[in-house]
Structure 1
Amino acid sequence: MGNLLSAMFSATDVQQEWNRGELWAFVYRIMFSASFRTLFGRHKENKDETARLVHSMEEFQKYDKRFPEIISNVPWWLMGQTRKRYEYLKSMVSPAELSQRGLSDFMRMRQEIYTDGELSADEKAAFNFATMWASLSNTLPAAFWTLYHLLKDPVAMAAVRAEVDQLLKETGQTLENVKEGGEMIHVTRQQLNDMKCLGSAINEALRMCSASIIIRVATEDAELALESGSTFRIRKGDRVGLYPGFLHMDPEVYDHPETFKYDRFLENGQEKTAFYKNGRKLRHYLLPFGHGVSMCPGRFFALNEIKQLVTIVVCYFDMELIDMETPPMDQSRAGLGTLAPLNDCLFRYRFKQGCL
């Protein structure tokens, strides 16, 4: 929360007049900085840390745009500066660099594991960069779409704001006493878990923007029984790809699937888990993070970070969309995770009264 607040305030003009900005760029900068510092800590000596992070963010964004080509094994020499950017980003999380940072316990333990595995310094840097990429590439678009849809839907935003206000009331926190004490809004992990309305809005955004493919390799010959009554034969060694996007946009499972409904995953104040297809209750109805043993291990970190981002926005800012036309999604990432907006959209913001 501290890293998100710090990134938010450094990315905004601290005043109570309306400011204009681009929402995707706004979310990207805040989430990149907060995620990086949460995992890898702050540099102990470098006074140009903010400038370095901004440059790293720009390099990461350019690298990430080539990700579909990278995993398709397109040669580096066909991708311009991509290899150079990869080496630079690795240097930001190399063992030598991390020795100068106040690492999170998670990353510190990973470094110990790498040392026990007798990995080279370059291999450690590569693994650290993989962690860095995994913490950012799919979380950033999910955070953008959650905030975008809440800003576009006043009813949804009002419901989330009421939930945040209730949390503050129950914990005795107000913007006034936070300001006077020089403190920050604080929520525990359990309190984040209890934010069912906001959790539903995030799940709804993920339902609409996630586009991962789940891939499995058959370890033996098998036959799949299809709903139609026919069977499909799979041979040992065959690769099977499952695309949850078809499920997420199935109108029989989700009424009006192209419409954002913040309370779609909410029922009587609790998380809704009953969704049906052909009259049968679905065991798996939402799969933005994959499934089984390969399910994204950082999903809780991502969801809680998005919840914290929205909580900060609700507490400290007035925000309004200027561009009301929903930007299209970048389909070049289809099959690889959550889809970013193809173009940015304008919004305006200001600090709430009493926040300065």
Structure 2
Amino acid sequence: RRPGEPPLIKGWLPYFGMTMKFQKDPLGFIRTLQKQYGDIFTVLLGGKYITFILDPFQYQLLAKYHKKLSFQRLTQKLSVKVFSIKIVENYEDLIHELHGAYQLLQGKSLDIILEDMLQNIKQMFELQLLKTTNWNTAQMLTFCCSIVFEITFTTIYGKVPAGERKKFISELRDNILKFDNKFPYLMSDIPIELLQDVKSIREKLIKCMTPEKLAKIPGTSEIVQKRQDILEKYYGLKDLDIGAHHFALLWASIANTIPVMFWAMYYVLRHPEAVDALHNEIDHLLQSTGQKKGSGISIHLTREQLDSLVCLESIIFEALRLSSYSSTIRFVEEDFILSSDTGDCCLRKGDLVAIFPPAIHGDPEVFESPEEFRFDRFMEDGKKKTTFYKRGKKLKFYLIPFGFGANKCPGRFLAVMEIKLLLLVLLTYFDLELIENKSIKLKYTRSFFGIQHPNSDILFRYKPKS
């Protein structure tokens, strides 16, 4: 190492370094290194030298040195390799404009999306799930894939005409899930040609999402229309180039929402006290707004009412805390000295810097018994709990499943809103029970990227309430 650089842990395997140890138990591995080397160290993982910053009071250094720690370079590489996006002239201006369009996923625009989403849930559930009075058995992850995909697609991209809907939605869903299954490999240095039929699946998905195809689907959301206008400005009428962007947005809209929905459902059904608390909270809201549960899905909710359900939000945040490995990663643009309260360290051009959420999410000093699911962890005296401490100091960053700063996940409000709505409708209108009594663990295949999937599916059953 050069003078002033953090300790380097690279193992004995060239290129791969410590990858195998990291993949086996990411948090345990990082914890061991932290005890040995402190809060800043560099690890060789799959050909990349990654410097971890583990002290939550130093996370803001990434914002402080944003000109030397690039987010853009990483996302550009990912866009090309994973989604086949073409880099055009003035690409930075394009990204800036697309980023501006994300304001349509928050504030007043989210109220319009909520209305639309509630209608889509009502239509889908009444057609597909409320028809029978008997118990239906399903695999929970498969069930979550099905409902999240259809609700997300119809809310963002529009309503496929009834005659074609079932075939179109199921084919698109199956292809995007096959693609998503290979996503961790696409993020590595493995050429796409070696990943079986991933390239042809990607081509199919892009063709499904071209402006020509989407024009046939009525009810497109404002965000998609706005992005379409921006993309035409930069790409002209190149259908496949624009289709690649639409495909990337669709993937981003479901890739993490599906596993979070699974974990929230799984944890709730394993904890009867969480089910009781949720039923009480939902019943209280419906009574206070003068709503009754009819035979169909008749409830109507504003965003303020949805946000007032603190127990529901706490459950989703707790599911995110236990499953999110969405690391904040930056590319070091030049050799420089990172100055912090705890001292200076030299970073090397071409390396990566990472903030690893499980380190704070699993810290027993911040969260008591962090390995346990506690439905009320983010509640206090019936209100949202937002104060957590480490070393006696209040933390600004204690729950970071969406990254932080200017590059926070732009769809975070939409994702949380969708999971809230789906859980609320399922618990209000259905009896739900786990059939298998088995403990599901995280499957560590996405250790830097998003929500970890379960290591196996689990059977549950549901039936409409009488």
Shorter-chain TM-score above 0.5: yes
Is 1:107 paired with 2:221?
Answer: no
Q: Which residue of 1 aligns with 2:308?
A: 194
Is 1:148 paired with 2:266?
Answer: yes
Contact 2:261 2:419 in 1 (8 A): yes
Q: Note the 1:1-356 alignment, pairs <5 A.
A: 1-12=118-129, 14-44=131-161, 47-102=163-218, 103-119=220-236, 120-176=238-294, 179=295, 184-218=298-332, 221-225=336-340, 229=342, 231-235=344-348, 238-353=351-466
- Counterpart residue identity of residue 447, structure 2: A
CA distance in 2, matches of 1:222, 1:8: 56
Contact 2:144 2:262 in 1 (8 A): yes
CA distance in 1, matches of 2:128, 2:255: 20
Give the C-alpha shift of residue 50 in structure 1. 1.2
Give the C-alpha shift of residue 278 in structure 1. 1.4
Give the C-alpha shift of residue 284 in structure 1. 0.4
Please give the secondary structure, in 1, of the residue aligned with 2:244. Answer: helix
Calculate the aligned-residue CA RMSD, in Å: 1.8
Please give the secondary structure, in 2, of the residue aligned with 1:26. Answer: helix
Give the C-alpha shift of residue 340 in structure 1. 1.3
- Counterpart residue identity of residue 420, structure 2: K
1:263-292 per-position Cα deviation (integer Å, ceiling 9, x unaligned): 101112221111111111111000000111
Give the C-alpha shift of residue 117 in structure 1. 2.0
Give the C-alpha shift of residue 210 in structure 1. 0.3
User: Does the C-alpha gap of structure 1 residues 148 and 239 become closer, same or farther in structure 2, counting only changes over 3 Å?
Assistant: same
Give the C-alpha shift of residue 114 in structure 1. 1.1
Please give the secondary structure, in 2, of the residue aligned with 1:333. Answer: coil
1:4-56 per-position Cα deviation (integer Å, ceiling 9, x unaligned): 23333444372222221111111110010000111100134x61211221121
CA distance in 2, matches of 1:19, 1:303: 26
Contact 1:222 1:235 in 2 (8 A): no
Please give the secondary structure, in 2, of the residue aligned with 1:332. Answer: coil
Q: Which residue of 1 aligns with 2:91?
A: none
Contact 1:11 1:26 in 2 (8 A): no
- Taking structure 1 as the reference length, what is the TM-score of the superposition? 0.92
Contact 2:235 2:241 in 1 (8 A): no
Contact 1:93 1:129 in 2 (8 A): yes
1:181-222 per-position Cα deviation (integer Å, ceiling 9, x unaligned): x66322111111111111011000000000111112346623
**Alignment length (residue pairs):** 346
CA distance in 2, matches of 1:47, 1:14: 19
CA distance in 2, matches of 1:338, 1:155: 25
Displaced runs of 4+ in structure 1, greater than 6 A? Answer: none
Please give the secondary structure, in 1, of the residue aligned with 2:137. Answer: strand
Contact 1:317 1:350 in 2 (8 A): yes
Contact 2:210 2:240 in 1 (8 A): yes
CA distance in 1, matches of 2:227, 2:277: 40
- Counterpart residue identity of residue 304, structure 2: Q
- Taking structure 2 as the reference length, what is the TM-score of the superposition? 0.71
Give the C-alpha shift of residue 230 in structure 1. 5.0
- Counterpart residue identity of residue 140, structure 2: L
CA distance in 1, matches of 2:287, 2:333: 54
Say which is worse superposed, 210-219 or 295-304, in terms of deviation. Answer: 210-219
CA distance in 1, matches of 2:121, 2:339: 47
Say which is worse superposed, 260-269 or 325-334, in terms of deviation. Answer: 325-334
Larger Rg over CA atoms: 2
Contact 1:42 1:101 in 2 (8 A): yes
Contact 2:267 2:373 in 1 (8 A): yes
Give the C-alpha shift of residue 83 in structure 1. 1.0
Which consecutive unaligned segments of at least 5 residues does structure 1 have?
none
User: Does the C-alpha gap of structure 1 residues 76 and 11 become closer, same or farther in structure 2, counting only changes over 3 Å?
Assistant: farther
Give the C-alpha shift of residue 320 in structure 1. 0.6
Contact 1:333 1:339 in 2 (8 A): yes
- Counterpart residue identity of residue 461, structure 2: R
CA distance in 1, matches of 2:264, 2:372: 13
Contact 1:11 1:30 in 2 (8 A): no
Contact 1:212 1:244 in 2 (8 A): yes
Please give the secondary structure, in 2, of the residue aligned with 1:20. Answer: strand
CA distance in 2, matches of 1:77, 1:183: 47
Q: What percentage of aligned pairs have identical amino acids? A: 36
CA distance in 2, matches of 1:184, 1:326: 35
Please give the secondary structure, in 1, of the residue aligned with 2:177. Answer: helix
Please give the secondary structure, in 1, of the residue aligned with 2:454. Answer: coil
CA distance in 2, matches of 1:329, 1:183: 34
